[in-house]
Structure 1
């Protein structure tokens, strides 16, 4: 059975570092045998269909191919359409009422529990808020991610130890769910 996935590459094409041209990423995915390959924006979002593997094995395969082709390591998460739809539907914030820059989703490579973030005092960051979901963290940052003190606190290495984490704004969350559903 063929499944459509989104690949989320962490930290590419940011500030001139780890440059991955999207045309080359599409070509790389096609050489790996995937179908229906496409990319979204320049920030490491790809969509493809495959009839083999699972999210973890596909992510590992793509990470290895990126390292061989580009010469640097990149963390990769792969998620299927059903998961992306569930993340969108489970959003605890009123997404339709917010600007995309105000709402972000951090995808994790594994489940995380609230205890991991117990040292972060939510009251100290109001009106910013976060909520955990299934391998995701939803972040409401009214002034945007770049000005968010809560995002900075949540991204501390000790809080994210042992998991891959990559963040997308709400527009990208919605678009990837739509692209994988076609």
Structure 2
């Protein structure tokens, strides 16, 4: 096992316990780190530290930005989510670019909401303001909403459903009191 990688196993292999041979405990490739032998398909392709049993707290989650190998940037997951939302998902220039792609662009907008929802459901890294950003950019903006409902009504319905589910599950507490009613009204219109 390479130094510095002790105790890291992908989630499927850590669930398998000792079934994974120790010589395959860590394989580093240019694209990913995996603990599975080449003949086994590891679905996660991500390494996570094994925590001692006595530790009840959640592990700190970090994102390593290696776009420029000379300047690696390590950020917490919450910082990276906020950065990605401002720079991409809620950025008007990016949204305009997606609108030029028509049906597929609308699907990308829906995928952004889906990804934020997934992070909100599985981590504590998503704040209510993040959902507010996407709600304002996708639903409240008349031009973007018209694009979504005309070019890809399924994506528009999916965005509304995910945002409604985030409200129902307590993952999002919007800053406006009218948000829940707005979502309900729009869901009836696009249904």
Task: Specify which structure has the bigger relative contact order, considering alpha-carbon pairs within 8 angstroms and separated by 6 or more residues.
Answer: 1
Please identify which structure carries the higher strand content. Answer: 1
Which protein is bigger by CA-based radius of gyration? 2
Shorter-normalised TM-score: what interval?
Answer: under 0.3
